[in-house]
Amino acid sequence: MSAIPVSSPAADFSAAQAVAAGTDFADLKVNEQGLFWNEFRPADGACRIWHWRDHQARCLTPDGFSVRSRVYEYGGGSFCLGGDGLLFVNEKDQQVYTQSLAGTAPRPLSNEDACRYGDLQWHNGQVLAVEERHGQQVEHRLVAWDETTRKVLAEGADFYASPTVSSDGQRLAWIEWDRPAQPWTVTRLMCRQRDTTGNWGPAQCVAGADESLQQPRFDADGLLYCLSDRNGFWQPWGEVDGNWQALAAEPADHASAPWQLGNSTWLPISREHYLATWFEGGIGQLGLRDEQGRLERFASAYTRFRHLAMDGEHLYAVAASPISPAAVITINRANHEVSVLAGGSEVLPAEQISLPQSIHYPSGDAFAHGFFYPAHGIKGAAPLLVFIHGGPTSACYPVLDPRIQYWTQRGFAVADLNYRGSSGYGRAYRQALHLRWGQSDVQDACAAVEYLAHRGLIDAGKAFIRGGSAGGYTTLCALAFHDVFRAGASLYGVSDPIALGHATHKFEADYLDWLIGDPQRDAERYRQRTPLLHASRINVPVIFFQGELDAVVVPEQTRSMLQALQANGVEASGHFYAGERHGLRKAENLAHALEEEWKFYCRVLEG
């Protein structure tokens, strides 16, 4: 395989090591008992709750349980802290369980076989949750559980998120939206007030015009706040002097697109005083803004922050940097000292890590963003692998990704793109993909090759493209409609948008109408942008990876594309994984896919 310039450390940093370094964390919670988080380890694909106290961490989740919600398929908010322990969603049956900190076995709180739960919140003896009921149709509600009863808090809307109660228990707020809207296009902030009898009054819409709202919060005085993109970025708004108005904030997104429930990228403290993370040129920042508008920044060595929490003395976050993977960190509010509580272990020696370089490049009559990672140990023009993230309303970040380092160690440069439609650059950039999916994103991928080649950083004749889910669609469109890439890899990618619309779940059932158009009125547009219908135009090798239990991109769609290419005599192969859903999670499957993809590119370059 001498066609690829492989640097010496490559054989040491294996696919298995790259996968093992993919430990991740979510849902930081803090109270007088300590700090808690949900930890995913690729070794067995399970998610477990960990408890940090007195400088020690212990796992609370017993064998046989995995803490993961599948509401809206993408889950999130899988546990919360209760009165004397915690409550969590068990992955296998999607029911809510209670567990004390004394080491007793978890016991079920809910017993609704047709339901899934997520976005758990605790208040005064009750756990609030988003409920997803599967019957003849899928229905969503906000519900509350105590030891014996289930109560419906809100119903009638198509989707719900982020239930939260004020500290005095007098106000309940949440986010809701209706089809065909998505949570990053148009949502409503709703609120209910208790009446004199202690019952909840009627729901009132606090905000929600042509805007996306997320992460409602109450401060200690019971005032309501929320992130809104009304002014072009997801920024804090709130009840100030009796009016709903914007708080002082950086002109930047203070959150990413809410694909998952339970996000926490900002925390109000008091009037116009809050902790937040935001993006500056795609790079994450963390700071406290006081009531006078002054900004105090923290942890500048990190470039992405998630799942914020805080107490009187410390700030907490899941953070990552260009040289360290995801970690649970604590920051002393007085002296800014940062300590790592979990994760963040060395993946490679610092001198072997390829560092991200921010790129802002022309694409058609617009500009696109991304991060370029040079091939390690290669001088001059190297083969290029273009990464296309999923979503497509998602984003990539300038943090250490072991998968990217796997490629740079093997002599590939990597372009990790935030094409038009990605979040983190404001509402207008995110909305730029409206009706242009399969065009603007593809144009940005092709333009990145031209831009990097013009600068002498890569060999345009050895450019490859890969993507998962929506990124797989962009990949297949690029291969079908442009002559730029030598080969491509589709990981559970969309090849037939119409079939996707028929088979996919409720959360994304109308997304294609926004991305491409009405399937009947705009049938010709769909035909023009369906890779499966243009398989004959793909004349370069393609490799596919697919979970057999995928409910987003069903396996039959991938098999149809694979068979169409093979029937046309194109070198195409597929790997299908039993027990995997949308996105591979098991370590052995992740490692297998990564290594098979590398071998595939090697064969193409040798051919």
Q: Per-residue pLDDT tens for 182-212?
A: 999 999 999 999 998 989 999 999 999 899 9
Tell me the pLDDT tens digit for each residue of 540-558: 999 999 999 998 888 999 9
Supply the pLDDT for residue 499. Answer: 85
Rg of the Cα atoms in the chain: 24
Hey, which residues does 121 pair with through a beta bridge?
128
494 neighbors 470 (Cβ within 8 angstroms): yes
Q: What is the CATH number of domain 26-255?
A: 2.120.10.30
Instruction: Tell me the pLDDT of the chain averaged across its residues.
Output: 94
Q: Is the pLDDT of residue 10 over 50?
A: no
Q: Where are the chain's structural domains? A: 26-255, 356-606
Sign (positive/negative) of CA torsion 380, 385, 386, 387?
Answer: negative
Residue 123: its pLDDT value, please?
Answer: 93
Q: How far is the C-alpha of 489 from the C-alpha of 598, rounded, in Å?
A: 10
Residues 106-161: tens digit of each pLDDT = 999 999 999 999 999 999 899 999 999 999 999 999 999 987 889 999 999 999 99
**Sequence letter at residue 371:** F
- Give the pair of three-digit tokens for residue 455: 């600068």
Beta strands in 32-167 (DSSP E): 34-41, 46-53, 56-59, 79-81, 85-89, 96-100, 107-108, 115-123, 126-134, 138-145, 150-154, 159-165
Long-range Cβ contact pairs of 32-36 (< 8 A, separation 24 or more):
33/81, 33/101, 35/309, 35/316, 35/328, 35/330, 35/341, 36/60, 36/79, 36/81, 36/86
Q: Which residues contact 528 (CB under 8 A, 6 or more apart)?
A: none
298: three-class secondary structure by DSSP: coil
Closest to 511 measured CA to CA, from 182, 176, 132, 259: 182
pLDDT band at 1 (very low <50, low <70, confident <90, very high): very low
What CA–CA distances, in Å, run from 604 to 164, 449, 592? 53, 18, 18
With beta carbons less than 8 A apart as the criterion, state whether 326 and 405 touch.
no
Measure the CA–CA gap between 250 and 189, rounded to whole angstroms: 22
Dig out the tokens for 188 from the structure: 């409503």
pLDDT at 8 over 90: no
Residue-by-residue DSSP string for 209-266: SSS-EEEEEE-TT--EEEEE-TTSS-EEEEEETTEEEEPS--SS-SS----SB---SE
For the chain, the distance separating the N- and C-terminal CA atoms, rounded to the nearest angstrom, is 10
Residues 79-119: tens digit of each pLDDT? 999 988 999 999 999 999 999 998 789 999 999 999 999 99
Q: Which residues pair with 488 in a beta bridge?
A: 465, 542
Q: CB of 405 within 8 A of CB of 18? A: yes
Q: Tokens for 594, please give them.
A: 């990564």
Pick the CATH number of 356-606 from 3.40.50.1820, 2.40.50.140, 2.60.40.10, 3.30.710.10: 3.40.50.1820
- Per-residue model confidence (pLDDT) at position 148: 81
| Bridge-based pairing state of the strands 56-59 and 79-81 | unpaired
What pLDDT score does 21 carry?
A: 86
The 159-165 sheet, strands edge to edge: 159-165, 171-177, 188-193, 204-207
Tokens matching residue 287: 């700071």
Q: How many degrees, rounded to 5, is the angle at CA 444 between CA 440 and CA 450?
A: 145
Q: Would 26-255 and 356-606 be classified into the same CATH topology?
A: no
CA distance 134 to 88: 20
Residues 188, 176: contact at Cβ < 8 Å? yes
Task: Round to whole Å and give the CA distance between 16 and 22.
Answer: 10
How many Å apart are CA 511 and CA 435, to the nearest integer?
10
CA distances from 487 to 194, 371, 567 (A): 60, 21, 17
> Model confidence over 583-607: pLDDT tens digits?
998 999 999 999 999 999 999 999 7
Q: How distant is the alpha carbon of residue 204 from its chain centre? A: 30
| Whether residue 217 has pLDDT greater than 50 | yes
CB 38 within 8 A of CB 48: yes
Note the pTM of the prediction, 2 decimals: 0.93
Instruction: Supply 80's token pair.
Output: 């919360």
Averaged pLDDT, 218-228: 96
Which residue has 């919600």 as its token pair? Answer: 69
Tokens of 401: 């990704």
Contacts of 55 (CB under 8 A, 6+ apart): none
Distance (Å, whole) CA 245 – CA 237: 5
What is the C-alpha separation between 254 and 279, in angstroms, rounded? 7
Q: Which of 445, 436, 449 is nearest to 418 (CA)?
A: 445
